[in-house]
Structure 1
């Protein structure tokens, strides 16, 4: 596989709002690449992540993922990929308030029916230790700070050891120490498992620590 992602977008249109973004935008990403995306608010950074992560298919263009045309993949297979092959750290990600932090993090394991897999359990313990959230595992989300919830969302995103991690401002609500924990874990997974990392950020320090930076601009 030469490219894990090959995306060609003519445009993404918001009919109700009367405007479009990502005009004539092409993106090709190789397996194991670390890529950051920067740009002003409103240029389509989060929309791009939603398209890359198969959350949004309402656009004009073509998308090949894992060397397969997305338009030819069944809805069930796309849902399986979203759970097992793509890890999301999106701003819209929400934790279920009735569940503990631990149960929230383990939800993808339940959906994938791999809760008892020893390798997965070891990976879970490693993540929890790495980002330091053992003390909050039995708490509910509303009992935790914004930074703690952000780390829990991140843990849930990487629990399945996905092929691709898509992050939208993953360190925005974190202090310097926890920011470093998140970035180090991302890059450790990239190095150890050849995980492809795509990060949207306004933090130029975070952006510059990736191998490649793409700057999105307004179409006007």
Structure 2
């Protein structure tokens, strides 16, 4: 007579709380040590409640209000800490908008000047990064013309993109930029004089809109700096 494997034994169908265990596959060891289920916490027990260690609790597929608030706070912090950067293509376009022509450029110097926006590690010091961006761009001069004007517009755009207001009168803007170009003032100090943080907007900035606003406000400054 052929040997057959014994059929696996399963627990009976779920019973009301306190009358037995929930549906689960039981081993002989577990059956011997299984204690009666604890009584329900209240007469208002419903099938939405599950057995956990220590008693019956109500479980839902949703997220608690406290967890949702914690998640919202984490997203806000992440948004605040994120810095927006100009790309090489953005800087090329800014130079064309400033000079009204397509200029020759040295790609290695342009890339290095653009990457001056970044800092090592997880730095979030917008003023320092904007200052080194302005200073290095004017020193490297990657374009055939319009370097100072491009550096000026790009730096102000970088500040405005990252929730900083720029308080700089148009009549004082050209001397302010020339002080950095001629090494009379460091880029960090110059930026700190005119930029102040504002409440974050949590909205991705539109680079072209910001650039056009800067060009419109500082048209005379850009004309004065375009020779450099």
Q: TM-score normalized by structure 2?
A: 0.21
Which structure shows the higher helix fraction? Answer: 2
User: Which one has the largest radius of gyration?
Assistant: 2
User: Greater relative contact order (Cα 8 A, min sep 6): structure 1 or 2?
Assistant: 1
